[in-house]
Amino acid sequence: MLTNNLGYPRIGSLRQLKKACENYWAGKISQQQLLREGHLIKKANWELQKELGIDKIPSNDFSFYDQVLDMSLMVNAIPERFHEVLLKEGKSELDLYFAMARGYQNDGLDIVALEMTKWFDTNYHYLVPEFRKDQPFKLFSTKVIDEFQEAKYEGIHTKPVLIGPVSYLLLGKEKERGFNRIDLISNLLPVYLEILKKLEEAGADWIQLDEPSLVMDLKNDEIEAFQVVYSQIRKAFPYLKILVSSYFGSIKHQLDWLSSLPICALHVDLTRGEEQLSDVLAHIPADITLSLGVVDGRNIWINDYSKSLNLLEEAIQQRGEERVWISPSCSLIHVPCDLELETNEESLKSEIKAWMAFAKQKLEELAALKKLVTSRENELFSRNQKLIQARKSSDLVHNSNVKEEAWSLSRGSDTRKNPFSVRKILQQAHLDLPAFPTTTIGSFPQTKEVRAWRLQFKKGLLGKVEYENLLKQEIKETIQWQEEVGLDVLVHGEYERNDMVEYFGEKLDGFAFTQNGWVQSYGSRCVKPPVIYGDVSRPEAMTVEWTSFAQACTDKLVKGMLTGPVTILQWSFVRDDQPRSSTALQIAIAIRKEVIDLEKAGIKIIQIDEPAIREGLPLRKEEWKGYLDWAIRAFRISSSGVKNQTQIHTHMCYSDFNDIISEIAEMDADVITIECSRSQMELLDAFAAFQYPNDIGPGVYDIHSPRVPSEEEMVDLLEKAISYLPQENVWVNPDCGLKTRQWSETTEALKRMVNAAQQMREKLLVN
């Protein structure tokens, strides 16, 4: 019986990759130094897995930015606008790669980055491939071959990992009408065959092709593409062993045709589809090895060995040990690197820490399960079961008062007093906003000074009063700057916040925190998700003091800024001992209390961000209704305790809303702000077709790129917006918060944005 890992975190246990990439972009280190840092991370990962006894160690799971972008470069799916980057003197393949990810504004070029969206139902963002009709492909980057050779040089024989060809196409987007991207499979497949040939010649015996789209609802032509692709691969490489890996759900609905796929091994996610095992065993031929994902690659709780062993033993009885591999459910990029780095008892109690496992510990769990298959009479097993039972009965986890409050929530708590048509009239009289009102999404750049103050405060080197006075001065200056620029609705900048979820988690009971629990969100952007270990409640107000201070600094409107219940849930590591809907309801009640307190403090506009609503949608349509019912209700509970005159905003980003637009409307936010600039306002199709009744702020510039769009570009986007939407419903704002940007970019971009809004007002008057 073998242990099989699908992928390991690539950021480094102390975020070495983030720091190296950002230093390279800033011109502080050379490309050679960046490549060296990447090599050291890969080498450490390979050696760790070998040391822990992992039999199938992946390569090409490392990336300098994103694995889908890697694949686009590999098969030369490089949009024409980026070709000029390579023509500039001294520019390399890596510079082209980063230009595709981040955009490029230098050397007389101004190039918009690829679109970015969520990787299935995770908080990881990938770069969306762009496809055109009859698009040719060819081998451009040899990264996967190079990294296999790199590991081989270090004395480690790896299993190269590639995104499977069908899923790669399905992850992309048609950039012109009149064709279906899946039809490009005949153009793409020869490049994959060339890659596999080079890997076989280099000595690879097993290849992992990730096909996560298998868990989704596939159309007939997509199923046919799978059948053609894997038949052609087997025909071309009769001795190369292909592992097809699915994850994030069950593949039970695909088994009728999957059973005839000519592959050597199939990976299934049993943490999100335990019930599929008996069907998989019944349908998948006995000569196909099964990689069983019994260790959760998406969450940080320890594995219940008893439960996993029952699943493994069921498979072994039918297949034999030689046809069963023990695996995580998916790549471990979704969890932090190493729990051993957590040494702060104040933020993470030892009792809670004992219930957790990060990437390294999950590999140890694979090794432990391999030992325990032969006998459960082992200290490893008994210790594990004691911890499982201790968590179930712990007073840290359960709070009867919180459960009772959620249970007794009154009817009507999820409904505003009047419909939007009534509220809009009252709010316009109350707020007196111009046409095309301008605002930002909430955060402003967190400078080195602000981060240094926070660190000094945490270390006790800066007193509370001194720290808060420094932040208040920063807020004052930010308010003054927004007034000077001419923004209509201001924000306080969120300088007191480390992260939009972590900040609230620190103020709520039922949350724990890590020092080094970083996971990659996109590129060099890493987040440190809170851990929801128990029942959630709000002991005191969380934002009222800071927002009230900001409002006292100006006669203009200042928005209260909150993170919504579903996003707090989605972007945390969530307890798995009760339904997610129950935890979301507890968080919603806590946010509702904060909203009511902000209104009492005189705040007239309150934003409750929910960028993760779409992200949490189940991957199969038949499961959507159950999720949307509780997710939308949670938002409405959080937002519906205020008067008609109080304007509720929400923010959502990097989502396709077409298929859930009616549910978005049911959220009943007065204003929704969304990401639109990378898609050139295409996302507004759904809102226009649905005749969305409430106000919308389609983002007019991409804050995830350092490029600053021109005023004309923003006007053009706004003109596109009003071709979709009634102009009286349109707000003007960036795509997202400005926390990660530099002040130099932010200042110029917002000035241009305000000018663009003014131009639209003047055109409105002329017309």
Sequence-distant (≥ 6) Cβ neighbours of residue 518 within 8 angstroms: 11, 15, 336, 337, 526, 527, 528
Q: Which residues make beta-bridge pairs with 59?
A: 160
* pLDDT tens-digit series, residues 69-119: 999 999 999 999 998 887 777 789 999 999 999 999 888 888 989 999 889
Instruction: Characterize the bridge pairing of strands 525-527 and 531-537.
Output: unpaired
Average pLDDT over residues 123-127: 94
pLDDT of 698: 82
CB atoms within 10 A of CB 279: 16
Q: Is 609 annotated as a binding residue?
A: yes
Task: Retrieve residue 536's tokens.
Answer: 């959630």
Tokens 């963002």 — which residue? 125
CB 736 within 8 A of CB 675: yes
Residues 56 and 85 grouped into a single domain: no
Q: Is 538 annotated as a binding residue?
A: no
- Give the residue numbers marked as catalytic: 704
Number of domains making up the chain: 3
Whether pLDDT at 679 is above 80: no
Instruction: Give ∠ CA 635-639-642 in degrees, rounded to 5.
Output: 165
Half-sphere exposure of 275 (CA within 13 A, CB side): 3
Whether pLDDT at 494 is above 70: yes
Residues 54 and 102 grouped into a single domain: no
Q: Is 731 annotated as a binding residue?
A: no
Between 24-28, 149-153, 565-569, 654-658, the lowest mean confidence (pLDDT) is in 654-658
Q: Is 93 annotated as a binding residue?
A: no
Residue 587's nearest CA partner among 651, 529, 538 is 538
Residue 443, SS3?
Answer: strand
Average pLDDT over residues 445-462: 89
Cα separations in angstroms, 693 against 487, 500, 552, 664: 25, 28, 33, 11
Sign of the alpha-carbon dihedral angle for 198, 200, 204, 207: positive
457 lies in some domain:
no
> Could you tell me the residue range of the domain that residue 108 belongs to?
80-112
* pLDDT tens-digit series, residues 336-372: 999 999 999 888 999 999 999 999 999 999 999 999 9
Residues 90 and 52 grouped into a single domain: no
Residues 107 and 212 grouped into a single domain: no
Residues 287 and 408 grouped into a single domain: no
Whether pLDDT at 478 is above 80: yes
Q: Is 526 annotated as a binding residue?
A: yes
Residues 96 and 140 grouped into a single domain: no
Task: Retrieve residue 511's tokens.
Answer: 């949350």
Q: What is the pTM of this model?
A: 0.90
Whether pLDDT at 248 is above 80: yes
Q: Is 264 annotated as a binding residue?
A: no
pLDDT-based confidence at residue 499 (cuts at 50, 70, 90) = confident
pLDDT of 275: 94
74 lies in some domain:
no
Residues 134 and 108 grouped into a single domain: no
452 lies in some domain:
no
Q: Is 676 annotated as a binding residue?
A: no
Cα separations in angstroms, 76 against 133, 148, 187, 397, 532: 15, 20, 12, 51, 42
CB 503 within 8 A of CB 530: no
Task: Retrieve residue 249's tokens.
Answer: 């759900």
pLDDT-based confidence at residue 411 (cuts at 50, 70, 90) = confident
Q: What is the largest CA-CA distance in the chain?
A: 83
Residue 595's nearest CA partner among 632, 555, 646 is 646
75 lies in some domain:
no
580 lies in some domain:
yes
CB 74 within 8 A of CB 144: yes
CA atoms of 598 and 606, how far apart (whole Å): 8
Residue 364, SS3?
Answer: helix
Mean pLDDT of the chain: 93
Residues 158 and 265 grouped into a single domain: yes
Q: Is 525 annotated as a binding residue?
A: yes
pLDDT of 172: 97
pLDDT-based confidence at residue 675 (cuts at 50, 70, 90) = confident
Average pLDDT over residues 389-413: 93
412 lies in some domain:
yes
Task: Retrieve residue 243's tokens.
Answer: 């592992």
Q: What percent of the chain has pLDDT over 70?
A: 98
E strands of 302-359, at which residues? 324-328
Task: Retrieve residue 526's tokens.
Answer: 């890493």
* pLDDT tens-digit series, residues 421-438: 999 999 999 999 999 999
Average pLDDT over residues 573-585: 96
pLDDT of 22: 96
CB 566 within 8 A of CB 512: no
pLDDT of 654: 56
CA 361 to chain centre: 23
CA atoms of 546 and 539, how far apart (whole Å): 17
CA atoms of 114 and 136, how far apart (whole Å): 19
Residues 593 and 506 grouped into a single domain: yes
Q: Which 8-state DSSP code applies to residue 707?
A: -
pLDDT-based confidence at residue 63 (cuts at 50, 70, 90) = very high
User: Residue 720: which CATH number?
Assistant: 3.20.20.210
pLDDT of 677: 62
Q: Which 8-state DSSP code applies to residue 680?
A: T
CA atoms of 115 and 174, how far apart (whole Å): 12
pLDDT-based confidence at residue 695 (cuts at 50, 70, 90) = very high
pLDDT of 655: 59
Position with higher pLDDT, 710 vs 56: 56
pLDDT-based confidence at residue 652 (cuts at 50, 70, 90) = confident
Q: Is 633 annotated as a binding residue?
A: no
CA atoms of 760 and 751, how far apart (whole Å): 14
Sign of the alpha-carbon dihedral angle for 462, 464, 470, 474: positive
pLDDT-based confidence at residue 709 (cuts at 50, 70, 90) = confident
pLDDT of 448: 87
Residues 385 and 413 grouped into a single domain: no
Q: Is 222 annotated as a binding residue?
A: no
* pLDDT tens-digit series, residues 730-753: 999 888 888 878 888 888 999 999
Whether pLDDT at 708 is above 90: no
345 lies in some domain:
yes
255 lies in some domain:
yes
Residues 377 and 406 grouped into a single domain: no
CA atoms of 144 and 201, how far apart (whole Å): 13
Residues 441 and 362 grouped into a single domain: no
Q: Is 123 annotated as a binding residue?
A: yes
Residue 269's nearest CA partner among 299, 241, 242, 240 is 299
Task: Retrieve residue 95's tokens.
Answer: 């510079």
